[in-house]
């Protein structure tokens, strides 16, 4: 493969599952292939920060009312209870860079490819 993009997934995986995926991506990518991992949640980013980022994005792009209703539905849904009970896996920038290195990648942080600038994205190449 020339390019693999994994967006807003790392937070739902265990550390070992993420390690396994990175190793698989390393095996699947061509020598000059690229891996983009986006929307990684840093340890200091809260659900409130995520919600506010969504609302700002929605207001700027004309879907604020739909976003407010969507957040309300999420608060009342099993997803919110499950997220509250299990939490999301969070990684610091150094921890993610170490994971990439352990899987055979050289990586660097880039601006987040998602709407939330508090989350992180990484561009990685096979080492």
10-residue mean pLDDT profile of the chain (127 residues): values are 97 95 98 97 92 96 96 84 77 98 98 97 97
If asked whether residues 28 and 4 sit together in one domain, one would say yes
Positive or negative: CA dihedral 103, 86, 53, 57? positive
Same-domain status, 40 and 96: yes
Q: Give the count of domains, the chain.
A: 2
Both tokens of 72, joined, read 């309300």
pLDDT at res. 79: 76
Same domain as 59, residue 35:
no
pLDDT at res. 80: 67
Same domain? For 97 and 118 the reply is yes
| 97 and 40 in a common domain | yes
The span from the CA of 10 to the CA of 109, in Å, is 15
Residues 80, 98, single domain; the answer is no
Residue 82 sits in which domain range?
Answer: 46-87
My answer on whether 35 and 12 are in the same domain is yes
Q: Are residues 36 and 8 part of one domain? A: yes
Residues 9 and 33 reside in one and the same domain: yes
Same domain (yes/no): 40, 50: no
pTM here? 0.89
CATH of the domain at 37: 3.40.50.150
Cβ within 8 Å of residue 117, ≥6 positions away: 53, 111
Residue 17 and residue 80: Cα distance in Å, rounded? 22
pLDDT at 87: 73
């Amino acid at each position: 493969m020339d390019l693999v993009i994994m967006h807003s997934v790392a937070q739902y995986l265990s550390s070992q599952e993420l390690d396994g995926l990175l190793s698989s991506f390393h095996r699947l990518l061509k020598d000059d292939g690229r891996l983009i991992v986006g929307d990684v949640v840093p340890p200091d980013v809260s659900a409130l920060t995520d919600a506010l980022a969504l609302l700002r994005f929605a207001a700027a792009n004309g879907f604020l009312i739909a976003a407010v209703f969507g957040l309300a539905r999420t608060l009342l849904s099993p997803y919110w209870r499950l997220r509250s009970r299990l939490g999301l896996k969070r990684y610091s920038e150094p921890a993610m860079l170490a994971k990439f290195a352990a899987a055979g990648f050289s990586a660097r942080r880039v601006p987040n490819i998602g709407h939330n600038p508090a989350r992180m994205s990484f561009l990685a190449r096979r080492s």
